Structure 1
């Protein structure tokens, strides 16, 4: 798999509807911790055990309305959706907590 960049709210809504498990990485281009954890999340997205997880990134500055709707107040924030429903979140670039969030979904 890979991490998909979401450019519109419609694309986000479609992903959450279409895929059973979606992990959202809400980031900002100017955010140092976001840049630090991005390669770790990319590696996670390629692991066999997470083959059914759809990983997406949303730029909070590019999609401010969606960011507000999701309640994002700090970056990075990782949000899990399972069967279209919010199923957990982690705020901060904490690899083990992100791994736990993703693992809990499969």
Structure 2
């Protein structure tokens, strides 16, 4: 059986579209932290996750795909995720009372609903996010 150039071009295009579609299905928006955006989300009563992390932190890297997967679930569609850089935003880290990177803090509107440090278990991170709803 021989294949034409058209067949290969069509197959490559279809594969590109399929892979591109998978990427957008898991795309979760994480917003760099700002006081104004955080206060606006609190005022709106949104579920909020403060993610205090560092680019060099292996635990933070392990948390990212778990948080992305959970945040893509329909029940978390209104979850607002703010990233606080542990190294560059020390006053914000201190204001949240965080002692180390890989700290996750859930808010239900203006009220802190729970926090965890160094957690990489999907079930317990899901339970934390549930508290923000």
Q: TM-score, normalised by structure 2?
A: 0.70
Match status 1:104 vs 2:113: no
Once residues 51 and 8 of structure 1 are traced to their aligned partners in structure 2, the CA distance between those partners, rounded to angstroms, is: 21
Q: Which runs of 5 or more structure 1 residues have no equivalent in the other structure?
A: none
Structure of higher RCO (CA pairs closer than 8 Å, 6+ residues apart): 1
Instruction: Determine the structure 2 residue equivalent to 1:85.
Output: 111
Which residue of structure 1 lines up, in the alignment, with residue 95 of structure 2?
Answer: 69
Structure 1 residue aligned with 2:56: 30
Structure 2 stretches of 5 or more lacking a match? 1-26
Higher gyration radius (CA): 2
- The structure where helix makes up a greater share of residues is 2
Q: How many residues align?
A: 106
Inter-partner Cα distance in structure 2 for 1:69 and 1:77: 13
After superposing on structure 2, the runs of 4+ consecutive aligned residues of structure 1 that deviate more than 6 Å are none
* Structure 1, 65-74 or 16-25: larger mean CA deviation: 16-25
Q: Distance in 2 between matches of 1:19 and 1:86?
A: 12
Determine helix, strand or coil for the equivalent of 1:38. helix
Secondary structure of the structure 2 residue equivalent to 1:35: helix
Structure ranking higher in strand proportion: 1
1:42-84 CA deviation, whole Å, 9 max, x = no partner?
Answer: 1111111211221222112121111100011122011011121
Q: 2:103 and 2:125 mapped to 1: Cα distance?
A: 9
- Compute the RMSD of aligned alpha carbons: 1.8
Q: Which TM-score applies when normalising by structure 1?
A: 0.85
User: CA offset at residue 7 of structure 1?
Assistant: 4.4
